[in-house]
Amino acid sequence: MHAFAVVAALLLAVAPFHPSSASDAPATALAPASLCASPATPVAFSGYVPIGGIEQWVTIRGDRCDQPIVLVVHGGPGNPLTPFADALFGDLEAEFVVVQWDQRGAGRTFRRNPQLAEAPLTLAQMTTDGVDVATRVAAALNQPKVILLGGSWGSALAVHMAKAKPAAFHAYVGAGQLVQELDNDIDTVARLRALAEPAGDTTTLAMLDALGAPPWTNPRAFGQLRRATRVYESKTSTPAPAHWWRPSAEYATPADAAATEAGEEYSYIEFVGMTGGGMLSQIDLWKLGTDFPLPITLIQGEHDLVTTKGVARRWFDSLQAPQKSFVLLAHTGHDPNEEMMAAEGAALRRIRASLVEAGAPK
């Protein structure tokens, strides 16, 4: 029996479905042009879409359905941004159609499919899922392509999606770019130790000594390291406004809270692996080659101790792409804040302007 069958049972026990709610409505196939009868039509879709053999939660928001589509590929992998989308991305909806997707094992997708706790998450399956979301949404909006926006885990997944089907995407914008597990872990440990030693932080130094050199087989290692990096990032980066992380009313329910917690636990173990062999160990963007088929913008926090600037920059510099831009943020760590969101918005607007200038179909 999979270890997270218990998570599924807990989810079913505390989060019963209510057929009158949008989260339990029948799935929608998203037929071509079904969401864009005319260019000025606003779009406000929330629902389940058949993706990869299961029903996955997708929201699509925009003032006009003919505006460029941005597909947000969330991090975690169990941390969907859908509950916080109004605060984080609401200002983009006048110029873009913004798509949120709760990946398999996360949020409302996990709520709908608790049986996923019996199955492994794989990078290959989630890449296929993501490309399917992109192509289905683009077709429903009568557009040929979307813009990819990925952060943290979502940045690695988005790169795999771009490589799998470049014809589906206009461009890629990544924040907190995850490149390769061992490279990132080595750099994280070195930078964390360099901060902890002059501070006389014996607690963090003892933790690093106990972990030893990466790679690790202890599933707790990633979480232990992240707790320490958050402490140091908080000393040098500007925090996000507290209200960003309050779920909108639709998602502020016991059922959604239970699904989020269960999905986070399941996805974390699938990400790191019980003995270090999870999806994180499969991430190695160097192996995908240096030919990147899309314009690429990387947005990097100067104080990011998880996906560090040195590793991100080395990978970025190796790429051959139609256009490249590397944006370093002086007051940002790994997690989103106002500086990061402003940089993402600026990058997306530059892409939008280039599409308009080129006269390309949005």
CB of 99 within 8 A of CB of 70? yes
Confidence of residue 328 (pLDDT cuts 50, 70, 90): very high
From CA 230, how far away is CA 226, in angstroms rounded? 6
How do residues 186-231 score in pLDDT, each as one tens digit? 999 999 999 999 999 999 999 999 999 999 999 999 999 999 999 9
Checking if the pLDDT of 96 tops 80, the result is yes
Q: What is the pLDDT of residue 21?
A: 54
Q: How high is the pLDDT of residue 24?
A: 72
Cα-Cα-Cα-Cα dihedral sign, residues 339, 340, 346, 350: positive
pTM of the model: 0.94
Confidence grade of residue 25 (pLDDT, cut at 50, 70, 90): confident
* Share in percent of the chain as helix, strand, coil (round to 5): 50, 15, 35
Q: Report whether pLDDT(124) > 50.
A: yes
Instruction: Name all contacts of 238-247 with Cβ < 8 Å and 24+ positions apart.
Output: 238/331, 238/332, 238/337, 238/338, 238/339, 239/337, 240/335, 240/336, 240/337, 240/338, 241/87, 241/338, 243/87, 244/84, 244/87, 244/88, 244/336, 245/84, 246/84, 246/87, 247/83, 247/84
Average pLDDT estimate for 341-355: 97
Of the listed ranges 20-34, 82-96, 311-325, 327-341, the one predicted with least confidence: 20-34
Residue-level pLDDT at 6: 41
Per-residue pLDDT tens for 247-286?
A: 999 999 999 999 999 999 999 999 999 998 999 999 999 9
Q: In residues, how long is the chain?
A: 362
pLDDT in tens, 48-80: 999 999 999 999 999 999 999 999 999 999 999
CATH (residue range 5-358): 3.40.50.1820
> Domain boundaries in the chain?
5-358
Burial 68-101 (b: 16+ CB within 10 A, else e): bbbbbbbbbbbbbbbbbbbbbbeebbebbbbbbb
Continuous segment of H or E residues that includes residue 146: strand 146-151
